[in-house]
């Protein structure tokens, strides 16, 4: 059977994209021209905050003291898991070298970027886990300077739990500034900060657009859209758990898509009946977001079999992909496009979002078809080098000269010619393109 949409999204994440771009471009241009003063102006306008931009050691200590011990322990638990997973990832790359031809050595060197800017959302929700995910991985990678940036609240400042998380995870500076102005401050090196080489971390559409515009002059983790989540479920799945997991991700925002792909109509019907009831039971703000996301962006798709389900999932390339179906090993081997995969009912996206160690900064808007999420590798440059003896350069120089002339790049050819002439004055070489 063909794919059947039991529920179809009425909106996409591209709504109002041009308007957002124009607003963000104007703010960035203003701050680049006006520096610290312009950034403070936007902080006062959007954050309603006029306190210290860079937290002092005393302010950090005071904020940390406000965090309850149990929450401090939970943050340290999450930090330890993220750190250990990042260290494992780092161990998979390293410096290598090989003799590519006799006497000619080539190699790879792994160098961390110098300065990282980590954006930590702190508006509607205090994203403690984002501080853990972004700062920890930068620290493990070996970045010399790490700035954590988070929106302050009026008369309060940055949420104490975010300050605590950023501090224990290794942030060198914690900046009380949010939105486009925070991203701009890290990029342009305002308030005495080093200019960031890379910007990482989730944010709203304005933060995401700022990173998109600045990409090129600074590196970014990815161009992100609203968070999204897809569940693959068969008749063995628990409809209540499936529905709960969909709602848990829909609460991220009004435009956060959630998708259910199944080969069981009965399960689909149960889930569609349960979701509105579960949403209605959420607190006010969460309920508003989840209701809008479910109404406008959610889809329920009925497929003929698991192969069609897997193909559908790969086409959507979700940020988060959950499998609640039999034969998990088959799904692990078959699925190819996702930011992070959650296999079985016993785990859930919420675990990965908060504490398991795998990173929650992941590709959205089908970007998982070509990239993975934030990892220790994102902060590391893999560069190459070469060295050779004069004898070792001979065959390479000959090949370079002939290939260059065939391409019409005479200057390249002559760079090889002069070395052959100097190192082997008593030898003759046929360096013509058609020799």
Q: List, by residue number, the catalytic residues.
A: 319-320
- The dihedral through the CA atoms of 81, 367, 10, 334 has a sign that is negative
The number of CA neighbours under 13 Å toward the Cβ of 382 is 12
Q: 17-42 and 205-214 helices cross at what angle (nearest 10)?
A: 90
Beta bridge partners of 176: 150
Place of tokens 């190699």: 107
Q: In what order do the strands lie in the sheet with 96-101?
A: 96-101, 104-112, 380-388
Q: How far apart are the C-alpha atoms of 199 and 186, rounded to whole Å? A: 8
Alpha-carbon dihedral sign for residues 222, 223, 225, 228: negative
Helix (H) or strand (E) holding 200: strand 198-200
Encoding tokens for residue 348?
């859930």
Q: Longest C-alpha distance within the chain, in Å?
A: 88
Query: How many Å apart are CA 150 and CA 148, to the nearest integer?
Result: 7
């Amino acid at each position: 059977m063909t794919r059947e949409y039991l529920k179809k999204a009425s909106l996409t994440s591209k709504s109002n994209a041009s308007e957002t771009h124009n607003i963000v471009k104007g703010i960035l241009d203003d701050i680049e021209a006006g520096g610290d003063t312009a950034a403070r102006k936007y902080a006062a306008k959007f954050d309603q905050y006029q306190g210290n931009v860079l937290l002092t050691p005393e302010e950090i200590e005071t904020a940390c003291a406000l965090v309850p011990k149990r929450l401090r322990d939970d943050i340290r638990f999450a930090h330890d898991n993220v750190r250990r997973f990042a260290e494992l990832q780092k161990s998979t790359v390293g410096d290598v070298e090989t003799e590519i031809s006799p006497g000619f050595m080539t190699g790879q060197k792994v160098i961390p970027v110098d300065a990282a800017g980590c954006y930590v959302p702190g508006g509607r929700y205090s994203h403690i886990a984002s501080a853990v995910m972004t700062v920890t991985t930068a620290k493990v990678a070996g970045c010399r300077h790490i700035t954590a940036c988070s929106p302050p609240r009026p008369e309060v400042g940055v949420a104490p739990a975010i300050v605590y998380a950023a501090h224990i995870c290794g942030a060198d500076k914690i900046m009380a500034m949010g939105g486009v102005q925070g991203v701009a401050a890290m990029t342009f090196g305002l308030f005495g900060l080093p200019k960031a080489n890379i910007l990482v971390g989730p944010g709203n559409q304005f933060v995401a657009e700022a990173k998109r515009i600045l990409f090129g002059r600074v590196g970014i983790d990815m161009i992100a859209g609203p968070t999204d989540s897809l569940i693959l479920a068969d008749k063995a799945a628990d409809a209540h758990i499936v529905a709960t997991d969909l709602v848990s991700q829909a609460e991220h925002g009004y435009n956060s898509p959630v998708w259910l792909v199944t080969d069981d109509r009965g399960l689909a019907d149960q889930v569609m009946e349960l979701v509105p009831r579960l949403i209605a039971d959420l607190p006010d703000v969460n309920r508003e977001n989840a209701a809008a996301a479910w109404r406008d962006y959610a889809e329920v798709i009925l497929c003929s079999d698991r192969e069609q389900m897997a193909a559908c999932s790969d086409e959507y390339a979700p940020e988060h992909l959950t499998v609640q179906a039999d034969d998990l090993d088959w799904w692990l081997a078959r699925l190819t496009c996702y930011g992070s995969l959650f296999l079985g009912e016993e785990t859930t996206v919420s675990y990965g979002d908060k504490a398991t160690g795998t990173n929650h900064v992941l590709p959205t808007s089908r970007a998982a078809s070509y990239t993975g999420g934030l990892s220790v590798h994102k902060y590391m440059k893999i560069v190459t080098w070469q060295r050779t003896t004069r004898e070792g350069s001979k065959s390479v120089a000959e090949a370079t000269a002939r290939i260059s002339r065939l391409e019409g790049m005479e200057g390249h050819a002559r760079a090889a010619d002069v070395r052959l002439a100097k190192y082997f004055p008593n030898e003759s070489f046929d360096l013509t393109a058609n020799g």
